[in-house]
């Protein structure tokens, strides 16, 4: 990227500025309660039935906004047949059936004149709100080139009539409408929940420049937020991001466009003013922990996955008791997680238990007597290889490669300890099961360890470690002992569920005469397990666990 590293950070200031202006604006409402252009004093009436519905348009077919009790004061802005466009004291604008109010036809002449001009939308997305301010509810969204009729102009907002007959307020600057007498009022960019409407001039709102430390994380604050190919509004959208998503910022332009990476690895540009920077996550810096792997186990029967860090966010999925989640971020008692199915979302941390995958230290660095292990031959069998890829992970991780990586690490540890090690394969080659067993027999091996990764076709939640042995050969008791040690050590190291020691007549277990075990480290079909298997740190932890199992089997000092 050629963008300068020293860039403005306008959005925080912008946020506070907009907050200040919003507050000021709310304070201004009573004083400016009659619309611009009105020569006569505002026309007031009141509700004369027990409950009158305020609607988004002039008929009962339009959405009901709220019910107004008898006596509610109304400022009448416009009349269309029986229906009145009114404004409440709190600034909310909507339509009521005029015959249930005190409005009479002789008041009609006193209504303020409407502007009646057509205007088009000049930004990709424009929010339509119930009142002239960011704090009012959004009732609709307009798109680039949509046409509206401007009824009234007030400060930076215009009350418009949409093509479908509904009325609402939009931020004036994002339309082609130009008021007759342009005021000098402050601008309130609609940044809180608008799609990508850019602040008019972000670089003018910041006076200092600060150095950004990349990468850092931001949370998406508006929905939907397009992920774009280039840092500009008219660039091709690559996808849609939702509120609550966490993005890693790689770079930033002066115009506050962020180059981001999604949790799934996709990259693109997003409007920085639709995001908020997250504080540094301190918990991931525990000694020995992989900074990218923090787990939480679900302790509730069913835990809702939500679109944001709070109960008011929509539910986007579910996870179940015992499921392991990958913690991506933490905020006010909520975790942003990746679930076993690969989904990203927020869960309440209250219903989870944190699990830290921590190294037990490098035991191979200690001093020990190697003479005890010099006459022991261990065959390490990396499952699959070559044409036979084995299982494939949800993100494409190949089992054959994981098996080989762990096997090569284990070879190194065992050799350093004085063991004689035979590998069935040392690179990405194909060999049959019979060839593997024959190799072990020929080497007169003392121990046979086959290394695999699991997959479940029909259960994405399947997770954890399991170890197999063959129960019907001379060395079955020793095989069971070896399998038990491996199972204990590996599941403790990876902190995934222990699925236990199991019997199976796998060829390499059955056709080898020495004690033999086959370990399935974790499930590639589970997004959380796969992330662990994709971490070199975790593969090393698994290797150390296998190494400890061998030492324990021979009763050697660790």
Contacts to Zn ion by CB under 5 A: 383, 390, 452
Cβ neighbours, 10 Å, residue 414: 24
The CB-of-494 to Zn ion minimum distance in angstroms stands at: 17
CA torsion through residues 93, 198, 147, 110, sign: positive
In the bound state with Zn ion, the residue whose beta carbon lies nearer, of 306 and 452, is 452
The CB-of-430 to Zn ion minimum distance in angstroms stands at: 14
The CB-of-203 to Zn ion minimum distance in angstroms stands at: 56
Cβ neighbours, 10 Å, residue 151: 23
The CB-of-426 to Zn ion minimum distance in angstroms stands at: 18
- Which residue carries 């065959």 as its tokens? 379
Return the beta strands (E) in 332-423 as ranges. Answer: 334-338, 344-348, 352-355, 377-382, 420-423
In the bound state with Zn ion, the residue whose beta carbon lies nearer, of 10 and 383, is 383
In the bound state with Zn ion, the residue whose beta carbon lies nearer, of 121 and 404, is 404
The CB-of-518 to Zn ion minimum distance in angstroms stands at: 8
3-state secondary structure (DSSP) of residue 195: coil
The CB-of-453 to Zn ion minimum distance in angstroms stands at: 6
In the bound state with Zn ion, the residue whose beta carbon lies nearer, of 277 and 507, is 507
Q: Which residue is nearest to Zn ion (CB)?
A: 452
Rounded CA-CA distance 129/94 in Å is 10
The CB-of-383 to Zn ion minimum distance in angstroms stands at: 4
In the bound state with Zn ion, the residue whose beta carbon lies nearer, of 362 and 459, is 459
In the bound state with Zn ion, the residue whose beta carbon lies nearer, of 133 and 385, is 385
In the bound state with Zn ion, the residue whose beta carbon lies nearer, of 28 and 534, is 534
The two tokens of residue 175 are: 């339309």
The CB-of-508 to Zn ion minimum distance in angstroms stands at: 11
In the bound state with Zn ion, the residue whose beta carbon lies nearer, of 202 and 390, is 390
Contact in structure between 390 and 384 (CB atoms under 8 Å) = yes
In the bound state with Zn ion, the residue whose beta carbon lies nearer, of 92 and 450, is 450
Nearest to 123 by CA among 145, 139, 138: 145
Contact in structure between 424 and 381 (CB atoms under 8 Å) = yes
Non-local (6+) Cβ contacts of 315 within 8 A are 304, 305, 306, 307
Rounded CA-CA distance 376/122 in Å is 77
Distances (CA, A) of 35 to 109, 118, 155, 389: 16, 18, 9, 71
The CB-of-427 to Zn ion minimum distance in angstroms stands at: 17
Rounded CA-CA distance 140/147 in Å is 14
DSSP 122-173: -SSEEEEESSSSTTSPEEEEEETT-EEEEEEEETTEEEEE-TTS-EEEEEGG
């Amino acid at each position: 990227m050629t963008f300068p590293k020293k860039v403005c950070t306008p959005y925080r200031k912008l946020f506070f500025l907009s907050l200040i202006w919003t507050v000021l604006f709310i304070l201004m409402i009573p004083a400016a309660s009659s619309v611009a252009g009105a020569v006569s004093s505002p026309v007031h009436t009141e509700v004369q039935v027990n409950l009158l519905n305020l609607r988004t348009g002039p008929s009962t077919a339009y959405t009901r906004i709220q019910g107004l009790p008898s006596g509610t004061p109304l400022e009448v802005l416009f009349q269309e047949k029986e229906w009145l466009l009114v404004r409440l004291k709190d600034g909310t604008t909507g339509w009521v059936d005029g015959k249930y109010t005190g409005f009479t036809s002789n008041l009609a002449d006193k209504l303020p004149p409407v502007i009646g001009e057509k205007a088009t939308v000049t930004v990709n997305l424009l929010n339509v709100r119930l009142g002239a301010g960011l704090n009012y509810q959004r009732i609709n969204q307009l798109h680039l080139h949509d046409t509206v009729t401007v009824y009234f102009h007030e400060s930076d907002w215009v009350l418009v009539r949409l093509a479908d007959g509904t009325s609402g307020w939009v931020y004036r600057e994002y339309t082609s409408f130009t008021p007759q007498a342009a005021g000098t009022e402050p601008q309130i960019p609609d940044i809180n929940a608008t799609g990508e409407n850019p602040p008019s001039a972000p670089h003018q709102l910041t006076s200092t420049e600060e150095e950004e430390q990349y990468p850092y994380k931001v949370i998406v604050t508006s929905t939907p937020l397009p992920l774009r190919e280039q840092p500009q509004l008219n660039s091709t959208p690559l996808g849609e991001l939702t509120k609550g998503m966490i993005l890693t910022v790689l770079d930033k332009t002066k115009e506050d466009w962020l180059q981001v990476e999604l949790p799934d690895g996709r990259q693109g540009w997003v409007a920085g003013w639709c995001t908020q920077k997250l504080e540094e996550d301190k918990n991931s810096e525990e000694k020995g922990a992989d900074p990218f792997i923090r787990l939480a186990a679900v302790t509730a029967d069913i835990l809702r996955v939500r679109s944001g860090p709070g109960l008011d966010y929509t539910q986007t999925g579910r996870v179940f008791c015992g499921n392991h989640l990958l913690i991506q971020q933490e905020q006010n008692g909520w975790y942003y997680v990746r679930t076993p199915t690969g989904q990203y979302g927020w869960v309440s941390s209250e219903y989870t238990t944190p699990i830290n995958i921590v190294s037990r230290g490098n035991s191979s660095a200690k001093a020990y007597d190697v003479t005890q292990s010099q006459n022991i031959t261990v065959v390490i069998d990396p499952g699959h290889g070559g044409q036979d890829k084995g299982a494939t992970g949800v993100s494409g991780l190949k089992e054959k490669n994981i098996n080989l990586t762990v096997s090569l690490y284990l070879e190194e540890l065992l050799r350093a300890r004085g063991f004689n090690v035979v590998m069935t394969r040392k690179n990405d080659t194909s060999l049959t099961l019979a060839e593997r067993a024959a190799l072990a027999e020929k080497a007169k091996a003392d121990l046979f360890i086959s290394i695999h990764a699991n997959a479940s076709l029909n259960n994405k939640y399947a997770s954890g470690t399991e170890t197999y042995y063959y129960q019907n050969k001379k060395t079955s008791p020793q095989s069971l002992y070896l399998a038990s040690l491996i199972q204990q050590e590996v599941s403790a190291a990876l902190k995934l569920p222990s699925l236990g020691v199991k019997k199976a007549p796998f060829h390499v277990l059955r056709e080898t005469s020495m004690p033999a075990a086959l370990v399935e480290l974790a499930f590639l079909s589970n997004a959380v397990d796969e992330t662990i298997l994709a971490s070199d740190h975790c593969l090393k932890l698994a290797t150390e666990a296998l190494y400890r199992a061998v030492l324990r089997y021979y009763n050697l000092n660790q």
